[in-house]
Amino acid sequence: MKTNAMDKRDAFRHNVLTSGHRACSGCGEAMAARMVSDLIGPDAIYINATGCLQVFTTHNQQSAWQAPWIHSVFANAAAVASGVEAALRAKGKGTPVVVQAGDGGTFDIGLQCLSGMIERGHDVLFVCYDNEAYMNTGVQRSSSTPHAVRTTTSPPGRLSQGKHHLKKDVISIIAAHHMPYAATATIAYFPDLKAKVEKAMRIKGPRFLQILSPCPLGWAHDSALSVTVSRLAVETGLFPLVELEHGELTGVMRLAEQKPVEEYLRPQGRFKHLFGSKTGAVELRHLQALADARIRHYDLLDADTQWDTERAMQSARHGRGGYASSMPTSEAVKNDA
Amino acid sequence: MTPELDIEPGSSHAYHTGDWRTRQPVYRNKWPPCSQTCPASEDIQAWLALATEQQWQAAWRKLTERNPFPATMGRICYHPCESACNRKHLDSAVNIHAMERYLGDRAITRGWKHKAVCDTPQTQRVAIVGAGPAGLSCAFQLARQGYPVTIFDAQAAPGGTLYSAIPDYRLPKSVLAKEINAILALGIELRLNSRVGKEISESDLRDQFDAVFLAIGTQRPRQYLTKESSKHSVMSGLEFLHRLNRGEQIALLSKRKSKQVAVVGGGNTAIDVARCVRRLGAEVTVICAQDSHGNHHRELGTEMPASRQEVIEAETEGVQLIYRAGVCRLVRSGEHLSGIEVAHVDQVYDRHGNFNPVLFDGTEEFVPAGLAIFAIGQEADWQGLERLSQATESEGVWLGGDAVSKSKLAATAVGSGYQAAMSIMARLKGESFVFDDHKKAQITFRQMQLHYYPKQPRHEGETNEQRLDGFNEVVTGLADDDAAHEARRCLSCGVCFRCDNCWHFCPDAAVIKTTADYEIDYNYCKGCGICAQECPCGHIDMERLND
Amino acid sequence: MKKLLEGSQAVAEAVRLCRPQVVAAYPITPQTHIIERLAQQVANGELEAEFINAESEFGAASIVLGAVAAGARAFTATASQGLLLMTEVLYNIAGLRLPVVMVCANRAVGAPINIFSDHQDSMAVRDAGWIQLYVESNQEAVDTLIQAYRIAEVCGLPVMVCMDGFLLTHTFEPVDLPTQVMVDNFLPPFHFSRTLAPSRPMTLGGGSEPENYQEFRMAQFEAMENARAVIEAFDAEFDDQFGRAHGGLLQAYRLHGAQTVLLGMGSLMGAVRDVVDKLRDQGQAVGALRLRCFRPFPAQALTQYLSGVQRIVVLEKAISIGAGGIVAAELRAALHQAGNMTPVESVIGGLGGRDLTPEVIETVFQETPLNEKGATFRFAPNHVMPDETDRGDCL
């Protein structure tokens, strides 16, 4: 089987994650995983933690994957990848190994295996599709869930305004492992995501990408707004796009302008309880303060970088906007023609 | 059956998630606001897109499908397209006007020739009365389709108002002549100095031709209603421009005492006249009954009709304008005009919408002037065409151009000629005709995602610093590089420019990219709406599905 | 040529001879000497394998899972808490039908925490879908490990070689280590048909539904049923090539004419044989039966061996709290299924490393009334230690 021509429907990309998967309409994780896996291509081995991505892509003898792919259990994706990578190393093969996990499989239950994998220096890219809660099981809070978010296990009530605790700063934890490469990205900035995946694939050793992936179900926003919402997460400063190499901050996407957090919060039902009450207003101010703090921490407004949110939205396609960029395959297709 | 431990790649294709859909995306071209407002219905987006690819000749051909006068229009059109351009919500409108001129000039420089669309010669003959923009536009369309066309014009040179009423600093005669010659080169017969009713009769036209298009323009100036009978030191704007364009000396201006001129009117002709007067070395005051541009108006629609850009240029050249001023009377010293008494205009239009200013007593002022030029409109002169002008299309007679349209823009005349040609051809072929006036779905910037476009400065032609020394063109054309960059500023409103967003963002890999465009695989599209939401140019519509 | 080797070292040498490409483990008493030796072998270049220091037993099991899925022969070892921490992955390895081989250095399970040997740990995961082979000696540990890879790779089932912690792992015995050539002749290179590879982009471990989950389990069960014959055949083949056999599923001792038979597993069976000899010398018709293969449970073979026996005693080192002896219960079910109503006495002893001395075993052979009405088992009596402080040497 010629692997790079598996998906006959589209001549311009592999569709490593192809159609017929059962993600909810507008799923940010499906989009992110399709982007990442297409950038890496089918000549890699994919290890998936339990979670939405595994559930909606493999169902009852049907698989949406068109690359070698394995799922074991929830917590162990990084360890399975370690074993796969060790086996490939032992056999003298250089096939790339990629882990895909949700925030549960990264921040919480999978953190120990991930830490072990990084400490041992396995040549594996670990991709976390961060949708900020346990969506697969029906939107329970995770350690990635931001402050004041409504989930089924952090419900607002007379005594509560949603989640009491803060979103875990996992990228710092990962980077502190003397990590060769750790970066955050999101679906709204495809050129940025592409650059980071490609950079990650050029580096040897453990690499980590945290990709904010909105969940229309869990975040309670219109399915059409997944990209918009993820863009606003960045533009408000709540989700900084950064790169860390061996623990040092080496890249920041500067904010062309800072947007108030309310623009991000408003379209999302998971923050709805904060609007229209005095206690909610306190949390809104708290969220704004958190965004401000992150902007200061990463110097998002003044960082010395050419890469800002406005530029990242645009592409070189005749300078006319849009995201057009040639995928590795499209070049190949052109050369074939 | 024992299930397999390993599952076939891509076996999910068997599951058609398209069943989930309650709404679906549809790729649909919209009619961008530039084209929507273009009186000639040019497909501006399309020719700019070709220009983006630096396919200059293809762009010129696309443009001239609707308007064979790009070099001309690129100079004189008041470009309502740019006022409508969605790009002004991002930075500033695309310089469509300059791009049009660039393509027109490029065609002239390189001697590009129009091509016939249909090689089969037609036998039915069409007569066109008036070799102005409407008549020539109509002739151009018919000739391209193989119809033998004869144009009759009473004047000694073709071009109509373009020739007789546009000053050289806006449109050099040579540019107009070259574009007209390119049109005529399609095999159009032009009979100059041929006035219907004199050199050729109405009945000859009816007998010798299968169809007649009357595009006689407005050659008769509207008369200023005044009690006095003396025409001394008073002329119409049209007459002034005609004489100037024929190279005549305007005698009254040459006298030392007549160095002050008043121009009455708020339209483009008034501004043209005023700017010409400045070039002839006189001071000039424009007396305008309406408000200036951009003011908060007491009544709606009282802004002066002249193009804002032209007014700015006029002011730059030292033209004085007084607004909301109506003429009370001409003040004479014997035969000689010494000035005009004006008063404040309260109401510009009456309740029927007619121009009927009400002047307030006690607000009179004196505007000194040795010459008064009234540019207050013009109308068609149907003399010699009394019967034909009453005929209908079913009788084989079509009317068009300035003579019958409310808008007097040259581009409107071009559009009118195009429509007439289409209607004539349909009738000659016995087909019914519905003019595609591009009333497709419109697109506003609100339906677009402007953040996907980088801000880019607008490119302009260079301004002639010695503009008042004679009648040289005020503005030069765009440099090649600037034209290429300016074309790329087009947002391609409502028309796909293959940015890949829909393809990148589809979570379901249901957008398929082909070498030509994109297709939606409805077997898998779940109808999330992200593609439509993130389409920069608003090309994708979401349609609700009925079950 | 026999060498005096600690059980752990012997096993490590056997692992080396099987040419694993990936070894992953997390240290836990009493498994540590096995992996320390393997680490040293890798460090010395004697074993060409990736030695992965996992961050937990859960990780170790997952690493070997990944390694085997990627087509490498892999090894891990653990015990007790570590095995239980692996439990989720053990089920997963079996469900994915990955031929992993591991050694369980059998140890008690806390609380209270206890590092000494019993079978509670491996018994706790008896339903995970692993073949479980309980060895009696260091030599058998070596031989069984070599067999285990072949069994696993032929059956598509993981194999757990269970050896008593300390009693075997830390005990020096003369061991005949086979040569590499002999092992290579017996054990062909590993080829895994479902190897993850871009040339064969299949999906492993996808979701299943009520309409097919049970079929997966049925297929697994069937593979386990078929494994009995494989285990026996490879033990026999091993005998041919190496001159040693370990009984396949069961090892009988002086069963001929025996009216009372004691059934047990693991290292205690040496002492049992001594007691059988002594009692036979005293004229008692006793015999012993060693259950080598607990999973798959050799119900049919057991029934055959035990037909005509009047009294069966099962001595086991694990307890199902709330039910009693585990092996005994399964044996009762097997006999009952075969229409054999011989009573099975269940004796539980040796928990948490308590000594099952010949004296204790001898009392187990004696008919003893159950303490309570309705009880299904009794505890073995205590052996009175001459000096309790002797124990400290083992630590």
Residues of A in contact with C61 (CB under 8 A): 76
Same domain, B332 and B256: yes
| Pairing, β A97-102 against β B189-191 | unpaired
Q: Are the beta carbons of A69 and C208 separated by less than 8 Å?
A: no
Please confirm whether the linkage preceding C20 is cis (ω < 30° from 0): no
- Rounded CA-CA distance C174/C138 in Å is 8
What pLDDT is recorded for position B439?
60
Same domain, B269 and B354: yes
What pLDDT is recorded for position A326?
44
Q: Across chain B, what does the average pLDDT equal?
A: 90
pLDDT at position C226 over 80: yes
| Confidence band, pLDDT 50/70/90 cuts, at residue A121 | very high
Same domain, B140 and B207: yes
Q: Are the beta carbons of B507 and A216 separated by less than 8 Å?
A: no
Chain B nearest-CA distance from A15, in A, is 7
Same domain, B332 and B293: yes
| Confidence band, pLDDT 50/70/90 cuts, at residue A332 | very low
DSSP B89: G
**Structure tokens that stand for B243 in this block:** 């004489």
Average the pLDDT over B193-203 and give the result. Answer: 91
Three-class SS of residue C327?
helix
Which of residues A324 and A117 earns the better pLDDT score?
A: A117
| Residue B426 parent element (H or E) | helix B410-429
Quick check: A28 and A37 in contact, CB under 8 A? Answer: no
Helices (H), C20-56: 32-44
| Confidence band, pLDDT 50/70/90 cuts, at residue B226 | low
Same domain, B417 and B462: no
Query: How many C-beta atoms surround the C-beta of residue B61 within 10 A?
Result: 17
Q: Are the beta carbons of C203 and B7 separated by less than 8 Å?
A: yes
Task: Give the class (CATH, top level) of A3-336.
Answer: alpha beta
The chain A residue lying nearest B498, using CA atoms, is A324
- Rounded CA-CA distance A134/A108 in Å is 10
Average the pLDDT over A213-234 and give the result. Answer: 98
Which CATH number does the domain housing residue B51 bear?
1.10.1060.10
Residues of B in contact with C208 (CB under 8 A): 3
What pLDDT is recorded for position A331?
39
DSSP B156: S
| Residues listed for chain A | 337
Same domain, B368 and B228: yes
Query: How do residues B57-95 score in pLDDT, each as one tens digit?
Result: 999 999 999 999 999 999 999 999 999 999 999 999 999
pLDDT at position C395 over 50: no
Q: Locate the domains of chain C by residue range.
A: 2-242, 250-394
Burial-class residue B249 by CB neighbours within 10 Å (0-12, 13-18, 19+). exposed
Residues of chain C numbered 7-26 and touching chain A (CB < 8 Å): 21-22, 24
Chain C nearest-CA distance from A113, in A, is 6
Same domain, B235 and B356: yes
The amino acid at A112: Q
Pick from B357, B352, B435: nearest CA to B400: B435
Identify the weakest region by mean pLDDT among A81-85, B184-188, C208-212, C364-368.
C364-368
pLDDT at position B538 over 80: yes
Average the pLDDT over C70-96 and give the result. Answer: 98
Same domain, B445 and B536: no
Identify the weakest region by mean pLDDT among A28-32, B30-34, B99-103.
B30-34
The chain A residue lying nearest C75, using CA atoms, is A83
Query: How do residues B312-331 score in pLDDT, each as one tens digit?
Result: 999 999 999 999 999 998 99
What pLDDT is recorded for position C105?
98
Residues of A in contact with C200 (CB under 8 A): 1, 68
CA atoms within 13 A on the CB side of C149: 28
Query: How do residues A165-211 score in pLDDT, each as one tens digit?
Result: 999 999 999 999 999 999 999 999 999 999 999 999 999 999 999 99
**Starting at the edge strand that comes first in sequence, how are the strands of the sheet with C377-379 ordered?**
C250-253, C286-291, C260-264, C311-316, C344-348, C377-379
Which CATH number does the domain housing residue B414 bear?
3.50.50.60
Same domain, B510 and B460: no
| Residue C138 parent element (H or E) | helix C138-155
Is the ipTM reported for this complex over the cut 0.85?
Answer: yes
Chain C nearest-CA distance from A51, in A, is 11
Average the pLDDT over C383-393 and give the result. Answer: 57
The tokens 């008042």 sit on which residue?
B468
Share of chain A above pLDDT 70, in %: 91
- Rounded CA-CA distance B304/B289 in Å is 8
Residues of A in contact with B14 (CB under 8 A): 20, 62
Query: How do residues B402-411 score in pLDDT, each as one tens digit?
Result: 988 888 899 9
Angle between helices B268-279 and B308-316 (to 10 degrees): 20
Query: How do residues B450-478 score in pLDDT, each as one tens digit?
Result: 989 888 999 999 888 888 888 888 888 99
The chain B residue lying nearest C98, using CA atoms, is B5
Q: Chain C interface, mutation test: which of A18, A76, A117, most C Cβ atoms within 10 Å?
A: A76
Q: Would residue B4 count as lying in a domain?
A: no
Q: Chain A interface, mutation test: which of C58, C86, C194, C196, most A Cβ atoms within 10 Å?
A: C196
B14 has a chain C CB within 8 A of its CB: no
Task: Give the class (CATH, top level) of C250-394.
Answer: alpha beta
Q: Are the beta carbons of B500 and A57 separated by less than 8 Å?
A: no
What pLDDT is recorded for position C252?
97
CA-to-CA separations, B507 to A36, B510, C254, in angstroms, rounded: 12, 8, 70
What pLDDT is recorded for position B300?
63
C58 has a chain A CB within 8 A of its CB: yes
Residue among C62, C71, C207 whose CB faces A76 most closely: C62
- Rounded CA-CA distance B173/A279 in Å is 75
| Confidence band, pLDDT 50/70/90 cuts, at residue B248 | confident
In angstroms and rounded to an integer, the radius of gyration of the C-alpha atoms of chain C is 21
pLDDT at position B96 over 80: yes
Query: How do residues C104-139 score in pLDDT, each as one tens digit?
Result: 999 999 999 999 999 999 999 999 999 999 999 999
DSSP count for chain A of H helices, then E strands: 12, 10
**Contacts of B246-254 spanning 24+ positions with Cβ under 8 A:** B246/B164, B250/B280, B252/B370, B252/B371, B253/B277, B253/B280, B253/B281, B253/B282, B253/B371
Chain C nearest-CA distance from A30, in A, is 16
Same domain, B366 and B424: no
Q: Which homologous superfamily does the CATH classification assign to the domain defined by C2-242?
A: Thiamin diphosphate (ThDP)-binding fold, Pyr/PP domains (3.40.50.970)
Query: Are C2-242 and C250-394 equal in CATH topology?
Result: yes
Query: How do residues A46-103 score in pLDDT, each as one tens digit?
Result: 999 999 999 999 998 999 999 999 999 999 999 999 999 999 999 999 999 999 999 9
Residues of chain C numbered 55-84 and touching chain B (CB < 8 Å): none
pLDDT at position B438 over 80: no
| Confidence band, pLDDT 50/70/90 cuts, at residue B225 | low
What pLDDT is recorded for position A337?
30
What pLDDT is recorded for position A6?
61
Chain A nearest-CA distance from B58, in A, is 18
Which residue range forms the structural domain that includes residue B211?
A: 126-220+380-429
Q: How many domains does chain B have?
A: 4
Q: Would residue B7 count as lying in a domain?
A: no
pLDDT at position A330 over 80: no
Q: Chain B interface, mutation test: which of C202, C209, C212, most B Cβ atoms within 10 Å?
A: C202
Q: Across chain A, what does the average pLDDT equal?
A: 92
- Rounded CA-CA distance B109/B480 in Å is 13
| Residues listed for chain C | 395
pLDDT at position B120 over 90: no
Which of residues C232 and A6 earns the better pLDDT score?
A: C232
Same domain, B293 and B355: yes
Task: Mark residue A135 as left, alpha or beta (left: phi above 0; alpha: psi -120 to 50; beta: remaining).
Answer: alpha
What pLDDT is recorded for position C306?
96
Same domain, B21 and B40: no
Query: How do residues B142-174 score in pLDDT, each as one tens digit?
Result: 999 999 999 999 999 999 999 999 999 999 999
Q: Are the beta carbons of A83 and C69 separated by less than 8 Å?
A: yes
What pLDDT is recorded for position A328?
38
Q: Are the beta carbons of C204 and A70 separated by less than 8 Å?
A: yes
- Rounded CA-CA distance B219/B379 in Å is 6
Question: Which chains contact B through at least 3 pairs of Cβ atoms less than 8 Å apart?
Answer: A, C
pLDDT at position A5 over 50: no
What pLDDT is recorded for position A311?
80
C189 has a chain A CB within 8 A of its CB: no
pLDDT at position B208 over 70: yes
Residues of B in contact with C215 (CB under 8 A): 1-3
Residues of C in contact with B12 (CB under 8 A): none
Helices (H), B111-236: 133-144, 161-164, 173-184, 202-208
